[in-house]
Structure 1
Amino acid sequence: MRLARFPTVRGRLLALLVAIAFPIACLTALAALTTYNTVIAAIEIAQARTADDFAVRTRVWHRGALRVLLSSGELIATSDATTQTCGAEARRMLDRIPGYLAVLYRLADGRTCFAATDPALTETGMTEIAAGLTRMPRSVSRSQIQLPPARFDKVRIGGSDHLVTQVALDGDPVLRDALLLSDPDLLDQVFELGGASDGVNVALVSGKDTVVMHRGEGRQDDLSWLPDESTFPTDGRRWEARSRAGHKRSYAARLVSAPDLYVIASFSNAPERAARMQFLALLVAPILTLILLCLVYLRAIDQHCVKWLRGIEAAARARSGQPNVRAVIADDMPSDIRSVAEAFNTMVEEQEVRQRRLQTALDDNRFLVRELHHRVKNSLQVVQSYIGLKKRDYRDEARLALADAETRVHVLSAAYRFTLADGEMQPVRVDLFIEDVVTMITNLVRNRDQWVSSRLETEATLSVDRIIPLGFLLVDIASRVLRSTPGVSLTINVRDIDATTLEVALEADRAIPVSEPPKMFAGLVAQIEAVQVEKPEGRSLGSWRISHGA
């Protein structure tokens, strides 16, 4: 995983946690699913084995009873006992085998042999039972050692249930048929060997409705737990169905003896529900643990990392408005972040020291610049005064030249006076400066019959480096016109073209012959950064546009 894709520390740490937790969650889910399938398979195997155990023991018991019936009948048939004497032999056999109650043999030679341990069991009743069972389907042994087809069932005589084993031997030269009644306790002991637990019902069922033997919940004659189906799967598989009572249960059926003697085992769904709950617990608990771990991890990141980083960031951003802000340093800060915060505060303190030193140096420089400009302004005033005094000693051209020089010196002096009006260097108001220059031109350069005026419609400002050449330009044009044209009147027009541009134009009250400006005139225009929009012609002495920013 490329953590560089995530821009923040929190995002990268969270991505790293997810990269670790996601495989763990997948493995946990796989382990929980495997455990669930294993438990369900074990439950199914255990339930199938329960049905198999009861079926195997029931088959063994019935085949044992069938073998006893066949062997004892063969012995009686081959003996020379009469109908009256064979009953005693059969009775001795019943006395030796507890649980066998009555037996009836009908031999091929017409002899009948009957014996019973219970007086309620009569030969006539036994004959009727044998006749009824003869008409019913018989079970065929599915083992390799074939036994004759027999009928296993349950009958009720005198209010008591009896187990019946009946065999018919068609074409046998010795024994035609035999019938054995036994006590249900014998089979009950067989069923007891298989055991049963809560929610389990096991029964030997004959003909789908007759419960021969029952172990589990409910009464012996309670059939509500049986599946509500007409046929049972005989392939050994376990299936789920609704019982006759309407409840969903699991079943396993085993054919004990064909065609309709089954062992039916019914199981509640409690083990499956418990397995599902275990699966959910194995799945959800680790995932919830991982989620809780993520939440705790995120909170730890916020509390022990992001919180302090944001504090340093907030202190850095707040310094633009609050210079004295410092990063918070607390005792519970992580040592590495604490080291970063201390380094940040140290850097801030060093920066403040440098700023104070720079500010001190800047203040000193400003003071020196102000003093320098004051000295320049005072020196210019001294020069201007000296020129004014010296001008009195001359006449004609020399006087005019000194007056022209005095005017230019005044331009310099006025520019420095305006730019240092508040003790600091600042831009100069164009209208105030030009008004002062026009006054000086009027006082020093014009003759009595000449006039110089101004029309100022601007509040723009220019730096001292641009206002001085502008003053020189105006003095130069006015001086040349006033010297060459007696009685002329000049007007200096200054107006705003837009918010960032002003226009300076000069015009006379009459047409003035155009004369070539001195070479330094172009240099003055370049210093002002002015653009000439109208050349001198007729009354116009020229027009220039100057950009002043705002």
Structure 2
Amino acid sequence: MSARPALPRRALKPRLATQLIVVLSIAILPLGLISVYQTNKVLQERQSLSESALLQRTQQAVGESREVIRSAISSAETLAVQISALQSSGDTCSAVMSEVVDRSETFAFAGYRDNARGLICASRDVIANTESPLDALPEIDQRSESVLMRPLEFLGGIATFSVTVPVIDEGRFVGTVWIAVPVSALNGALSQAGENVNLVLFKTDGDIIATEDYTENRRSVLPADYSLQDLAASGRQTFRGESREGETRDFAVSPIVSGQVFVLGSWMPQGRGIQMPIFEQALALYFPFAMWAITIGVAYVGVHRLVIRHVRRLRSWMRLYASGGYDDLGDARLDDAPEELEVMADAFRAMTRRLSEQDRRREEDLQEKTVLLREVHHRVKNNLQLISSMMNMQIRATNSAEAQRLLRRVQDRVMALSAIHRYLYLARKLSMLRADKLLEDIIQQLVIVGTLDESGQQIKVATELDPVEINPDQSVPLSLLATEAAMNAVKYCGVNADGEAWINIALKSQDDGNLCLSIVNSRASADDDAATDDASSTGLGSRLIKSFATQLNGTLETEDLPDRFELHVVFPMAWHEAREDAV
């Protein structure tokens, strides 16, 4: 028997939901990248605006102090232009310097220093009270035309902030105009900036010019991680950090005098400040993923509601119909399905109606053919019984014993055929027949008849029939073979040494898929007649038995022993042949 070829495994294909996620992910990817880019740009612009706003607030807070410094610079520059006309008269120069100081509420000193002759003129009451600092003013490079800032000059015991401007005459450096501003004026202006800010004015070298609280703790408001030199070198900037007091502050650095004086504003963080919150940074990063997840979720819900659930419903209908659960799905409906799926459902329902109608017609045709076939078997059985009755009448009318015996043998064969058709008429399934029940009816009738017609001795009949099935094509030769063998067994059955006459009939199913019909009868030790007409002779019964065994595609074996005669026929089962044909 050849092995059945293995069915190819169905390749696993991605589900509709998986394909949908992949397609939508590819479609949304450009939008996600654009969203990330635009979100980052917006956040950067917002941070830039926050930094600009903080710088602007710092510039506004230091506005008064900036005006004081710029006023001193402007006044010094103006005096530097007019000094050539004033230096010819020392009294006039000093008067002008005094007038400049008197008109300004913030100036403490104004004077002019000639590099060759020292201090030429100054505001009144200052020269007499000033000692070394006036002479200690360093030499100014003649090539320099920049504004110089000198903090913490003490004039008359007052801490001042000095502004020096070089005087250039016909391209030559001739002296310096010097204006001193009390540090207290700057400190007072800084203290009025507000409670949420600490302001510090400092130079590029890190020297503090003025603070709100100009004490030994004036550097406590500075950032802990940066020096004033570094901040001056970096220029205009904003950042968030900790002060030297350990407080988290927003810092802003902006120049007041380009390249010389800077302001440091230390602000209490308000709201979002200049640093983007962590959740907004996370939002900028995860917003595209959230948009992707929401889009996939909405699309999946939509596709599931519009397509997937209806497809699953159709699949359940198909499985139910294939399993025989529904004969007609005409009442099955989809819930709010799209038109395309509803058309598919209508086509499936129409197909089931056509198949159900074809099944019904086929069932009616099969039932009609079965009825006709049963009727054929019934009529054949009746005809065979009629023939048997006619032969029985002929037997009674015949005086010859030999003729009666021959007619009775023919009658037994006819009755065996009649038994087959009677069984087919009464059977619930015509495709397969129970061989044990068929043989039991035939053999019982033949044994009883044979016993009555022969010597009249009582024969013990034992049967052992397995419940096996055969097809109708095997039923006729098997029944006729069993009839001939049973008639021979009845005819030649004898009383053995134990004084008993017996017949054993068996139908067994073997492990190799074959059936074995065995008929064994007892024999008398001196029964010469049995030896002359057994299954191995050339009589009609022997020839019929061999012919029927050949029709069963089986093998015939006989064994003649002194006390018994055995007949064995081995033939294949019908279902075994059908299975081999299928394979």
TM interval, shorter chain, is 0.7 to 0.9
When residues 188 and 111 of structure 1 are mapped into structure 2, their CA distance, relative to the original with a 3 A threshold, is closer
Q: Is the 8 A contact 2:466 2:509 kept in 1?
A: no
In the TM superposition, 1:516-535 aligns within 5 A as 518-528=542-552, 530-532=554-556, 534-535=557-558
Alignment match, 1:469: 477
Letter in 2 for 1:403: R
Q: Is the 8 A contact 2:211 2:218 kept in 1?
A: no
Q: How many Å apart are 1:182 and its aligned residue?
A: 3.2
Q: Establish whether residue 21 from structure 1 lines up as the match of residue 25 from structure 2.
A: no
Task: Indicate the SS of the match to 1:212.
Answer: strand
Alignment deviations for residues 135-163 of structure 1 (CA, whole Å, 9 cap, x no partner) = xxx7989xx96148955225688998753
5+ residue gaps, structure 2: 1-10, 526-530, 577-583
Distance in 1 of aligned mates of 2:162 and 2:34: 58
5+ residue gaps, structure 1: none
Alignment match, 2:440: 434
Alignment deviations for residues 154-181 of structure 1 (CA, whole Å, 9 cap, x no partner) = 5688998753236899xxx998887522
Task: Indicate the SS of the match to 1:322.
Answer: coil
Q: How many Å apart are 1:383 and its aligned residue?
A: 0.9
RMSD: 4.9
Q: How many Å apart are 1:62 and its aligned residue?
A: 6.6
Q: How many Å apart are 1:494 and its aligned residue?
A: 0.9
Task: Indicate the SS of the match to 1:460.
Answer: coil
Q: Establish whether residue 536 from structure 1 lines up as the match of residue 559 from structure 2.
A: yes
Q: Establish whether residue 400 from structure 1 lines up as the match of residue 405 from structure 2.
A: yes
Q: How many Å apart are 1:548 and its aligned residue?
A: 6.7
Letter in 2 for 1:242: E
Distance in 1 of aligned mates of 2:139 and 2:413: 145
Alignment match, 2:503: 491
Match of 1:354 among 351, 355, 358: 358
Alignment match, 2:6: none
Q: State the TM-score, normalized to the length of structure 1.
A: 0.75
Alignment match, 1:205: 202
Alignment match, 2:537: 515
Alignment deviations for residues 484-531 of structure 1 (CA, whole Å, 9 cap, x no partner) = 788795623315456876532122323846435755544422444545
Q: Is the 8 A contact 2:522 2:565 kept in 1?
A: no
Distance in 2 of aligned mates of 1:312 and 1:324: 14
Q: Is the 8 A contact 1:494 1:505 kept in 2?
A: yes
In the TM superposition, 1:155-170 aligns within 5 A as 162-165=160-163
Match of 1:232 among 229, 233, 241: 229
Task: Indicate the SS of the match to 1:351.
Answer: helix
Q: How many Å apart are 1:324 and its aligned residue?
A: 3.7
Distance in 1 of aligned mates of 2:490 and 2:165: 161
Q: State the TM-score, normalized to the length of structure 2.
A: 0.71
Q: Establish whether residue 79 from structure 1 lines up as the match of residue 88 from structure 2.
A: yes
When residues 304 and 385 of structure 1 are mapped into structure 2, their CA distance, relative to the original with a 3 A threshold, is same
Task: Indicate the SS of the match to 1:273.
Answer: coil
Alignment match, 1:503: 516
Alignment match, 2:308: 306
Q: Is the 8 A contact 1:166 1:179 kept in 2?
A: yes
Match of 1:153 among 151, 156, 163: 151
Sequence identity percentage = 18
Distance in 1 of aligned mates of 2:184 and 2:155: 16
Match of 1:291 among 274, 290, 293: 293
In the TM superposition, 1:54-133 aligns within 5 A as 64=74, 67=77, 78-81=87-90, 87-94=94-101, 99-104=106-111, 109=117, 113-116=121-124, 122-127=126-131, 130=134
Letter in 1 for 2:310: W
Q: Is the 8 A contact 1:25 1:286 kept in 2?
A: yes
Alignment deviations for residues 353-404 of structure 1 (CA, whole Å, 9 cap, x no partner) = 2222222222211211111111111111111111111122332433222111
When residues 407 and 262 of structure 1 are mapped into structure 2, their CA distance, relative to the original with a 3 A threshold, is same
When residues 6 and 155 of structure 1 are mapped into structure 2, their CA distance, relative to the original with a 3 A threshold, is farther
Q: How many Å apart are 1:406 and its aligned residue?
A: 0.6
When residues 90 and 308 of structure 1 are mapped into structure 2, their CA distance, relative to the original with a 3 A threshold, is closer
Q: Is the 8 A contact 2:313 2:334 kept in 1?
A: no
Distance in 2 of aligned mates of 1:379 and 1:198: 130
Distance in 2 of aligned mates of 1:402 and 1:111: 174
When residues 542 and 204 of structure 1 are mapped into structure 2, their CA distance, relative to the original with a 3 A threshold, is same
Q: How many Å apart are 1:184 and its aligned residue?
A: 7.0
Matched length: 522
